[in-house]
Amino acid sequence: MATTSEFTSKSFSVANKNLKLNSKDDIDPILKDLNKQLDVEDVHFSGNTIGVEAALALSETLKKLKSLRIADLSDIFTGRLITEIPQALKSICDSLLDCPALEEVNLSDNAFGGRSAEPMVNLLSSHPSLQVLKLNNNGLGIEGGKIVSGALKTLASHPQGSKLRVVICGRNRLENGSSDSWAEAYSLHQNTLQVVKMPQNGIRPEGITAILTGLTSCAGLKELDLQDNTMTKNGSIAFSNAIKSWSGLEVINISDCLTGGRGGIEIARTLAAGVLKELKTLRLQFNEWDERALTPLSKYVSDYGHKLTTLEINGNRADPDEDVIESIREALSKHDHGDALDELDEMEEYEEDDLEEESEGEDSDVEEADDAVDGKVKDDKKAADNTTATSTQKENDLDDLTDQLAGTKIK
């Protein structure tokens, strides 16, 4: 998931220069340039590595940026030890409290681990102008998730109110253990929250249900991404009930959520009832949906999908030449969106198994999903080794990495 932050007409950037900034002397030339542009609206330090002394120097300059709206500080600790990161992170985050116009903070792709979540608390709990928080791929784990969501709960009670509208917290192994805290944090931002993205967090049906319950308070929700967590039937029922609260929802991503056949039917039938008429993007890949779910989905597209420009159903259980797929294509074409459907090159072979043979209880659903979930975790970890080298401590040995993540591996 991309977490790149916006560049404005008043940007300052040293992004992706692979600079190793250890001391004040190392970062001083950059800060001299930045001090000449104190009216900047966004700064970009991503793709460099910043040590404690350099971070302290950077903090002194950040405090002067009274027009700063966007702070892109993603991927700034590659190669740093767990003993360095908390102090460097705290000095940077605390300095941003002196930037009254600050709207967006991007700290993605920094291998914090749960123990390095605390240095962010002052900023996340106290800045009334904060609107966009990007914490993707940080290895927070359950405890780190509780710390971050706890800070957001405090922010909601700020005397000036909270403006938080976007939360991105994917690939953090949040699991079920932090779900109740996230649910409460979301419910407390019911008047402002518009976008929530929590993909690839190992969250199971109980946790999904808790988060959705919290989000039902957020009537203005526009985008929800829960991709690659685990719903099965119970989570799908919670989802189908929750979407009734978000009449303005424009983007849904629940691909790879193991909704299963029954779960797919629940969701598709709710959609077909017309609860969402503003959807522009609907991602449903690899969820074991068959004709029984795809048929009401087709009805939804035909009756209410006039704004739908992206529909992803690849990897489900239907032949691309089946009538139900053709009916979906025709429904999209009816709204002049004939190109909205994704490629269907990985559709699974559909077998005429009886609906009654599927599990009646969630325990059975979860048990049957365990192997698939474990497989996804292993695949994600293997992929992470190849694709997220900059966000891991590749200059340390395996023991350093294990210690840094406090027992929680980044996917």
pLDDT in tens, 6-60: 787 899 999 999 999 999 999 999 999 999 999 999 999 999 999 999 999 999 9
Has residue 363 got a pLDDT over 90? no
Has residue 361 got a pLDDT over 50? no
Q: What is the pLDDT of residue 219?
A: 97
- Check if the beta carbon of residue 94 is closer than 8 Å to that of residue 125: no
Residue 59 lies in a domain: yes
- Cα dihedral 116→122→128→131 (10° resolution): -10
What is the average pLDDT across 349-364? 51
Residue 86 lies in a domain: yes
Q: Considering its fold, how many domains does the chain have in total?
A: 1
What is the average pLDDT across 137-162? 97
Query: How would residue 351 be classed by pLDDT, with cut points 50, 70 and 90?
Result: low
Burial label for 360, CB within 10 Å (0-12, 13-18, 19+), is: exposed
Residue 40 lies in a domain: yes
Has residue 349 got a pLDDT over 90? no
Question: How far apart are the C-alpha atoms of 299 and 303, rounded to whole Å?
Answer: 6
Has residue 394 got a pLDDT over 90? no
Residue 13 lies in a domain: yes
Question: How far apart are the C-alpha atoms of 160 and 281, rounded to whole Å?
Answer: 34
Query: How would residue 348 be classed by pLDDT, with cut points 50, 70 and 90?
Result: confident
Has residue 2 got a pLDDT over 80? no
Residue 90 lies in a domain: yes
What is the average pLDDT across 318-343? 97
Q: What is the pTM of this model?
A: 0.87
Give exposure, 166-193, as e/b (b: 16+ Cβ within 10 Å). bbbbbbbbbbbbbbbbbbbbbbbbbebb
| Mean pLDDT lowest among 55-64, 105-114, 177-186, 293-302 | 105-114
Question: How far apart are the C-alpha atoms of 263 and 242, rounded to whole Å?
Answer: 14
Q: Which of 106, 11, 125, 9 is nearest to 65 (CA)?
A: 11
Residue 374 lies in a domain: no
pLDDT per position as a tens digit, 62-83: 999 999 999 999 999 999 988 9
| Mean pLDDT lowest among 109-113, 282-286, 304-308 | 109-113
Higher pLDDT, 3 or 208: 208
Has residue 375 got a pLDDT over 70? no
pLDDT per position as a tens digit, 213-235: 999 999 999 999 999 999 999 99
Residue 77 lies in a domain: yes
What is the average pLDDT across 262-283? 98
Q: What is the pLDDT of residue 4?
A: 65
What is the average pLDDT across 268-283? 98
Q: What percent of the chain clears pLDDT 90, i.e. is strictly above it? A: 80
Q: What is the pLDDT of residue 281?
A: 98
Query: How would residue 383 be classed by pLDDT, with cut points 50, 70 and 90?
Result: very low
pLDDT per position as a tens digit, 184-201: 999 999 999 999 999 999
Query: How would residue 3 be classed by pLDDT, with cut points 50, 70 and 90?
Result: low
- Cα dihedral 233→235→238→239 (10° resolution): -100
Q: What is the pLDDT of residue 179?
A: 98
Q: 88: domain range?
A: 8-106
Q: Which of 205, 211, 179, 141 is nearest to 368 (CA)?
A: 205
pLDDT per position as a tens digit, 237-249: 999 999 999 999 9
What is the overall mean pLDDT for the chain? 88
Residue 368 lies in a domain: no
Higher pLDDT, 361 or 158: 158
Domain of residue 65, CATH code:
3.80.10.10
- Cα dihedral 60→66→69→75 (10° resolution): -10
